[in-house]
Every structure is written in C-alpha cells, then in structure tokens.
Amino acid sequence: MTILLTGVTGYVGSYVANELLNRTDSRIAVLVRAKSIDEARTRLWKSMQLHLDFDGFARHLPRFDIYLGDLTADKLGIEAAARARLADTMTSVIHCAASLNRKSDKVCFNVNLRGTLALIKLAQQAHAAHGLTRFSDVSTVAVAGHRSAELVREDEAIEWDRSDYDPYARTKKFCEHMVHELLPDVPSTIFRPSIVLGDSRFAGTTQFDMVRAFAALAYMRVLPLRPEWRVDIVPANYVGEAIARIHLDPKPKYGIYHLSSGEDSLTYGDIVGALRRGGHNARAFFAPRLERPFGLAVETLMSTPRKFGVSAAASLMKVFLPYLTYDTVFSNRRVIEALGHEPAPFSDYAMPLLQFAVGGKFTYPYKPWPEDATARLSRAASAVSSAAIEA
C-alpha cells in the first residue's frame, strides 16, 4: 500500500508524515518541488527536523517514494513514466499542500484550485485502474466564512451565500466541493484545522506567521480585544495525529472533522493569565473599543516605507485580525470521539512557544545536510535490510 501525501515539506504535512511513519508500514509517496532527487531529499530532511534527527531520518527515508513535481504545473509536473507508476501504486491520498497566502487571489486560485483539480484527476486515474481506499482533504475552519460569537458544527459550516474572509478561505471551500463532486465513488474525509499554533510537547516550531501575530499581541500594552472572546487554537501534534489516525481508519464514522479546541477554547483573558503565570512581564489591559481604531492604524502602517520596519508586521496583523476578533469556535466532538482524547490547551505551552519564537528571532535552527550523509544513509539502509531478513 502507498499513501500519496502532498505538502510534506510544509508544517502540518511534516506532522502527518511523522505520524504515518509511526502508525503504518505503508509506503509514503511525496510530491516535492525540486530540480533533483538530491534537492528533494534535502528539502524533506529540512521539513522533518522537528521530528527526527538525521539518523532517524535516514532509517525512514527508504519508506518515501519521492516524485518531483509542482501543484501548479500541468499534470502536477510529474514526468509521464513516474506519473504512471504513481497512479498504479497509490492506494489513498492525503492532500495537505496549499497556499495560505490570504492576500493574493492569484496565488490561492493557482495553488489551491488548480493544484487540487490536478490531484483529483490523478486520483480519478488511480481509482479507475485499481480503486482508492480514501481521499483525505486538509481544509480549514475558515470555510465557515464571516461569523460572530458562534459555535460552528461540521455540517453547518459551509453556507454558500455567506461572505468569505479571504482568498484562502474561499478557495479551500471550493476545494472541498470539488472533492465531493469529482470523486463521488471514492471514500473521502475532510479535515478542517482551526488556528494551528505550536506543539504541546515542545517549544520548537518552524511555522512563524501566526506566531508573530501572537507575539505582537503578547507584548502590546493595550489589547483591542474583549477578555471574554474565545480563540480556537489547536496544537500541530494533535492535528497531525488526527489526520493520520482517521485516514488510516477503514471506516471513519464521519466525513468531516473539525480539528480544533471547540467549546474548551480559551478566552484572551485565559491566555494573558497563563502568560503571566509563566513569567511574562508585559502588562496589558483590554480595550475592545479600540478595535476599529486599531484596524485603521494597522492599515496606515501597512503603507509606510519598508525602511521603517513596520509595514510587514502591519500587513501580517491585517491578515489575521479578523480571525482573532470573531469570537467563534468550532465543535470538536467528532475528533475527540475518534481519538479518545482532547487537544492540550494553548495555556499549557503558550509561554515556551513565545520564548522560543522571540528568543530565536522567529527562525528555526535548521541543520544542514551532513557531510557524511552518504555513509550514514548506507548504514541505515543496511540495518533496515538486515531487520527485514530477520523478520
């Protein structure tokens, strides 16, 4: 069995890949945008560093079938012989790859819509040849559109006459629609993560966009928010576990799962209190009446010269502000039922995440491809072969 996983070099995709390595013996076919297999391996190693040291990566590398390609290229950019091999061997699909560019219609339509359509065509080819066991699409709770002070359940999220927040939400909503319409005979699962922020087990992260917004709010003296507003934050390790486990389930109970904190989502007051208990000294008070002036100030700062150093941060805050002020959470009863446990609350790991991000200047200390990689890969391959023979 071979699982085709897109987005393996992305943040959530790396978590899914790590869970699959630990939960199944299936091969994992991955689509990597690179000019050579060596470059693709290097990119794969970079993405997996949150989860594996190089020797662990070397042991698992033989499980990966690497295909050079691009979601935005014709037929995914996979050369004909490789595409035929992939269609012949893939037995299920987990589609994690996406553009999270919330400002550009062009990028979101090109990557999310055209890319998903090209992947669906490949899935149709595979299903016609030998059948697919599942097509899992990683979407977003943002498909629910403009909301205010709501608890949104899975089957109530999409309303086509409701306005969308941005191009990302709009295109992901239509991607869900394409999966249902174009793969009617393939079992499908839609996963909708909420705000994915950090890992509840350790402080490190390789995804900093939303972390920057969180850090900016953490150091503000005046917060244009209400302390009772809830914000639905879920750790990446819970999202990765949910996607892998439910995808591998032969008969999941539901077709859509919100990967979220749901009704247990913390309020801003809860989060500020947790940071203070963790030693965060920045004192802030809530001033919800300043929400509109704050939004106008952000728009003004977006237009300032780049040399002033504030336009990029303002642009980021502009993108995420609607998601921070809508006081809406997404029911997670289904995923709790499937996994048997709830996600860790953000308060458990907010302070270590903040310290890691600020202390590291919002960068991850990636390790380069080792100079002795060839020898270490060879030793790992020999060990795997010996273990297989003994088994």
232 CB-near residues (< 8 Å, 6+ apart): 141, 194, 195, 260, 261, 262, 265, 328, 329, 330
Quote the strand ranges of the chain, DSSP E. Answer: 2-6, 27-32, 64-68, 90-95, 134-138, 151-152, 188-193, 195-196, 222-223, 230-231, 233-234, 256-259, 266-267, 285-286, 329-330
Question: What's the pLDDT at 285?
Answer: 87
Question: What's the pLDDT at 100?
Answer: 74
CA pair distance 29, 86, nearest whole angstrom: 8
Is pLDDT at 391 greater than 60 in this prediction? no
Question: What's the pLDDT at 42?
Answer: 97
Highest-confidence range of 74-88, 89-103, 297-311, by mean pLDDT?
Answer: 74-88
Question: What's the pLDDT at 137?
Answer: 98
- Give the pLDDT band (50/70/90) at residue 102: low
Question: What's the pLDDT at 209?
Answer: 87
CA pair distance 253, 281, nearest whole angstrom: 46
Question: What's the pLDDT at 282?
Answer: 75
Is pLDDT at 47 greater than 70 in this prediction? yes
More confident residue, 226 or 322: 226
The stretch 71-76 carries a mean pLDDT of 94
Strand partners, 201: none
Is pLDDT at 297 greater than 70 in this prediction? yes
Q: Helices 209-218 & 311-325, crossing angle to 10 degrees?
A: 90
The stretch 254-261 carries a mean pLDDT of 98
CA pair distance 128, 22, nearest whole angstrom: 30
- Give the pLDDT band (50/70/90) at residue 308: low
Q: How many CB atoms lie within 10 A of CB 43?
A: 17
Percentage with pLDDT > 70 across the chain = 92
Please write the tens of the pLDDT for every residue from 145-186: 999 999 999 999 999 999 998 889 999 999 999 999 999 999
Is pLDDT at 245 greater than 90 in this prediction? yes
Pairing type for strands 230-231 and 266-267 reads antiparallel
CA pair distance 66, 74, nearest whole angstrom: 18
Give the residue from 193, 20, 175 showing the smallest Cα distance to 92.
Answer: 20
CA pair distance 170, 146, nearest whole angstrom: 11
More confident residue, 276 or 382: 276
The stretch 196-202 carries a mean pLDDT of 97
Coil/strand/helix, residue 37: helix
The stretch 93-108 carries a mean pLDDT of 85
The stretch 288-303 carries a mean pLDDT of 74
37 CB-near residues (< 8 Å, 6+ apart): 66, 68
Please write the tens of the pLDDT for every residue from 211-223: 988 998 899 888 8
Alpha helices, DSSP H only, in 111-208? 115-130, 167-182
